[in-house]
Amino acid sequence: MSSILKVDEIQNTGGTTGLTIDSSGFILPKAVAFQMHPTSSQTLTNGAEGQIAFQASNIDTNSIVDLSNNRVVITAATAGLYWLSFTFRLSNSAPARIVNYVKVNGTQKLVGEENSNTSGTTGSQSNTVAGLVSLSSGDILTYHIFHNHGADRVNETGVTNTRAEGYRIGSV
């Protein structure tokens, strides 16, 4: 005979609910840890990787966003498995190659690349990279971009165009 585990019986060893489950029964991420975006354009050098500057944070549930240094710093309380996403949009540009990088402690952890084989100035091009990354206390996240439009270009601002975000989905 099998037994059925009730939602209110799912607990961690500390006796608190180990999962967040909404009223429809969907399991939710542990927390939307952060979301940040630029509010002013940044000039990005053609053919060179550059770190993205962020000026605003819509979400920072545990004070891990460090806007003055354009990074996220993981603490002991926020360490765990994260779904990270980084979307970048070049203004009025369609370079032959655009690459987004998410780095942890200066090492590439996520890379997303798009090749169009042409360089134009009709429309804007977005690129997104996302994936699971295990983060430990003291880890530093930074966000970088490379393009080869043929000339220096600027990014589009605002959370709908260029943003970095992280969802903590569990502890490790």
Q: Tell me: the pLDDT tens digits for 64-118?
A: 999 999 999 999 989 999 999 999 888 777 767 889 999 999 999 999 888 765 6
Place of tokens 């962020």: 54
How far is 99 from 113, CA to CA, in rounded Å?
Answer: 4
Place of tokens 């690459």: 99
Query: Closest Cα partner for 106 from 78, 138, 66?
Result: 138
Structure confidence at residue 32 (pLDDT): 64
pLDDT(11) > 60: no
124-163 pLDDT, tens digit per residue, is 677 899 999 999 999 999 999 998 888 888 888 888 889 9
How far is 88 from 49, CA to CA, in rounded Å?
Answer: 13
